[in-house]
Amino acid sequence: MLKTPITRVLSARMRGWEKGGSRSKSVSIVIAFLLMVVVVLGGTLLSDTNYSSSAYDHRTRSPEGWSEDVRISYNISTDAYPSVDVYGDNVHIVWRSQWSGGQIFYTRSNNAGETWDEPVMIGPFEYNCMNPDIAVSGDDVHVVWDNNNASAREIRYLQSVDGGDTWLPERMISSNDGHNSQGPKIAVGEDGMDVHVVWVDWRHSSDSFPPNYELYYNRSHDGGLTWEGEMRLTNALYRSGEPNIAVEGSSVHVVWMDERAGKWDIYYKRSLDRGATWGGDVIVSNNPNHEGPADVAAYGDTIHVVWDRTVSGEDLILHRMSTDNGENWGESQVLTGPSISAVKPRLTVLDDEVHMVWFDGRDGGREIYYKYSDSGGISWGPDTRLTYTDNSYSFWPEIAVDNDKIHVTWYDDRDGIWEVYYKRNPDFISVPEFGNVILPVISVVTIYVSMIYIHRKREDKILVEREYGEK
């Protein structure tokens, strides 16, 4: 057979492979594999560098479907007690920052939590602001808190009518009477016109010992522009505290902790006429243990109440519902626990979907947990752990839902100082995730093809040399 250079190479290669070239081939595959590992790791690290510049926290894990933790607050002081509300994909968060003696800070996201504006202090510069809460309807953003620039702590109200771009002048919506008014909670109706605020007031505190705190209330029917004047909601000795409020159509629902019977219990009351008149106090918990605090959420005629019950130093979270707008109440059911410090349950409801968050001590430290019912509160899914901060303390979660997205905020000390965090479900569809896959794949294919090419060139050279050497 005529030996041309090509046939020489081919025949030499065939003999070479027969003679154990497969060993050098496996070596090259192993090298290619190691390179692939290096490239994939490198690609992941590189794209993570881009990713973390948008404030995602890679020290945490997340359950399926949830985004990573996004740090919201950045100044060098303590940031805590966030509150969140959402309208469409516009998410708004307020919190208390220790920045300069205690101010209210605010940020928003107009893309459902993917990016956030730089936080700003809202309202006039005041010291010692506490207990912010937020409610949103369309472009109307309503914020309340308390501070003691008056002769005592009083309820402050701030409003934006342009989605949080600018804020109208701050107003005081409790009476400046020298007695503390604090811990306000705000709710806004679906039409955006009815705004309701409830708080704890000390003006009757000397009536009893322990002091007699009572719930007071104020409302607006024109989207927060004018306020009707405050009303007393409770009238029973001893402390009444930690109210929460929900509005649905013309019905307003309030729950709170009350120690009128010598221990803390959960009470409920409602107004069916946009807050003009109120029904009697209804005890929701029926148990000799410590009960509270509670939260309430309403959708149509279905009212959900959740609260924390302490039994022998551990906590249960219970749920009770009414399907006739608060007239009658079903049996209470235990949703979770007993667990160490399973407290502060917060609720939101949209149709048959009921969402709850709380913080829990079962893992050491405190972590944020989430639970969900898609049957209008009848049956509930498992407890889902949302944070993994390795014995840090994650506290006071708040939750809001719209456009099939669940938004959760809380604060914790993973960075050695209290900061505000956020996460959502579903997870973000992000460019870095795309890059994580495509870039390494292209790199690996290129390197592998080059290696095979180089290897074959070298092999051919050796075989041809050997062929000629043998002759």
Under the binding rule (CB under 5 A), the answer on residue 240 touching Ca ion is yes
- What token pair was written down for 394? 């994650």
CB of 154 to Ca ion, least distance (A): 5
- What token pair was written down for 281? 């106090």
Cβ-based nearer residue to Ca ion, 179 or 424: 179
Q: Which span sits near Ca ion by CB under 5 A: 131-139, 205-213, 368-376, 386-394?
A: 205-213
Site string for Ca ion, 65-104 (x = CB under 5 A): --------x-x---x-------------------------
- What token pair was written down for 447? 């390197």
CB of 427 to Ca ion, least distance (A): 25
Q: Which span sits near Ca ion by CB under 5 A: 115-123, 208-216, 373-381, 406-414?
A: 208-216
∠ at Cα 23 (18, 29), nearest 5°?
120
CB of 282 to Ca ion, least distance (A): 15
Maximum CA extent, the chain: 117
Cβ-based nearer residue to Ca ion, 60 or 103: 103
**Restricting to residues 220-239, which ones interact with Ca ion according to CB under 5 A?**
236
Cβ-based nearer residue to Ca ion, 44 or 205: 205
Contact 316, 333 (CB under 8 A): no
Site string for Ca ion, 285-324 (x = CB under 5 A): ----------------------------------------
CB of 79 to Ca ion, least distance (A): 4
CB of 75 to Ca ion, least distance (A): 5
Q: Which span sits near Ca ion by CB under 5 A: 163-171, 207-215, 312-320, 449-457?
A: 207-215
Cβ-based nearer residue to Ca ion, 214 or 360: 214
Cβ-based nearer residue to Ca ion, 214 or 265: 214
**Restricting to residues 163-192, which ones interact with Ca ion according to CB under 5 A?**
174, 177, 179, 181
Q: Which span sits near Ca ion by CB under 5 A: 111-119, 209-217, 304-312, 366-374?
A: 209-217
CB of 454 to Ca ion, least distance (A): 54
Please give the size of the binding site for Ca ion, defined by CB under 5 A. Answer: 11
* 276 Cβ contact partners less than 8 Å away, ≥ 6 residues apart: none
Contact 360, 342 (CB under 8 A): yes
CB of 76 to Ca ion, least distance (A): 6
CB atoms closer than 10 angstroms to residue 49: 10
Cβ-based nearer residue to Ca ion, 62 or 78: 78
Residue numbers at the binding site for Ca ion (CB under 5 A) = 73, 75, 79, 174, 177, 179, 181, 212, 214, 236, 240
